Amino acid sequence: MTATAADVDGYLAEDEVLGDARARGLAAGADPVSAGTGAALALLAATTAARAVVEIGTGSGVSGLWLLRGMAAEGTLTSIDVDPELQRAARRSFLDAGHGPGRLRLINGLALEVLPRLTDGGYDLVLVDVARSGGGARLAPGAADYPDYLAEAIRLLRPGGVLVLDGVLAAGTLDVAEREAGDPAADGDDPAHRAAAGLREVARQVREDERLVPALLPLGDGLLVATRR
């Protein structure tokens, strides 16, 4: 018997705070992680006893709430998003859950400008969650930057730290993406094509990087997880 997405997402029911955060995200055109993905994030944060976590893509706070549930009680979540409206929604979600300013560092800005200012080897977990937008209706332009986020994440993670790339299958299965990338008719200047190519490329890089021990999990739009050696 094969488990369904409904089985996975329904295993740990979301409470009112998470439900409200999800509703705010969908209303604002964000694409919150699934409940099953969120549970996996909490598990990974707890397994690493994470005290310092970086999240690229705050959204309305759904993924951050799940991360905080697994992190050490004194841990700090650094979350980066370019959309100030979404970060205001996320701050409300975090406060509703009882997480004070001491546990949060919300940074409004472009992740690739913010990440270089963070400490080498100073983080237990890095989550990249910007592959989808429009309530899951389309690939986000930020998906094209996943290879650049990977390079920064490897620098930021301590040995034994965990990398999480959400949405790597948002453009379809990886073999389809590879065929499309080799299609001379594909438009390399098209944002959707660049986004799909970025997801395909980051999956290849993670698989081939000897510093990482990866696994691709069938959660949401594909959750690519790797431990930093």
C-alpha span between 94 and 111 (Å, rounded)? 21
Instruction: Encode pLDDT of 128-139 as tens digits.
Output: 999 987 655 589
Site of tokens 């990866």: 214
Encoded tokens for 60: 């309305």
At 128, the amino acid letter reads V
Instruction: Encode pLDDT of 138-196 as tens digits.
Output: 899 999 999 999 999 999 999 999 999 999 999 887 764 444 445 444 556 799 999 99
C-alpha span between 16 and 20 (Å, rounded)? 6
Q: What is the DSSP letter of 141?
A: G
C-alpha span between 40 and 67 (Å, rounded)? 9
Q: What is the pLDDT of residue 177?
A: 43
**Per residue, what are the HEC states of 167-195?**
CCCCCCCHHHHHHHHCCCCCCCCCHHHHH
